[in-house]
Amino acid sequence: MKVLLTKEEVEKLLFNLCVKLGFCLPLVAQRRIINSPPTNVDRFADVVYKAEGLDPKLASPLYNQVHKMVAEAFQQHEDSGES
């Protein structure tokens, strides 16, 4: 299922990824994600991971943490009732 996070939700998620996991993406990558956010958890996590210069195909505990935070943001969006 596709979910379109709001601009504010994406900004908050990127901020949390930076503060909690050290995924402080370059501004160009942040703007690209904010302006055209991936619409599913897996794709969003992959885009963030790649923007950090890492390979999401190499499953790691760090990737799992990124994926979990993204999944939580998507769940919060759904729980809020926004479309």
Positive or negative, the Cα torsion across 8, 21, 80, 35?
positive
Say how far apart CA 3 and CA 25 lie, in whole Å.
Answer: 22
pLDDT score of 81: 80
Distant-in-sequence, close-in-space partners of 74: CB < 8 Å, separation ≥ 6:
3, 5, 40, 41, 44
Its pTM stands at: 0.92
Interval 12-67: pLDDT, tens: 999 999 999 999 999 999 999 999 999 999 999 999 999 999 999 987 999 999 99
pLDDT score of 73: 97
pLDDT score of 83: 56
Whether 49 contacts 66, CB under 8 Å: yes
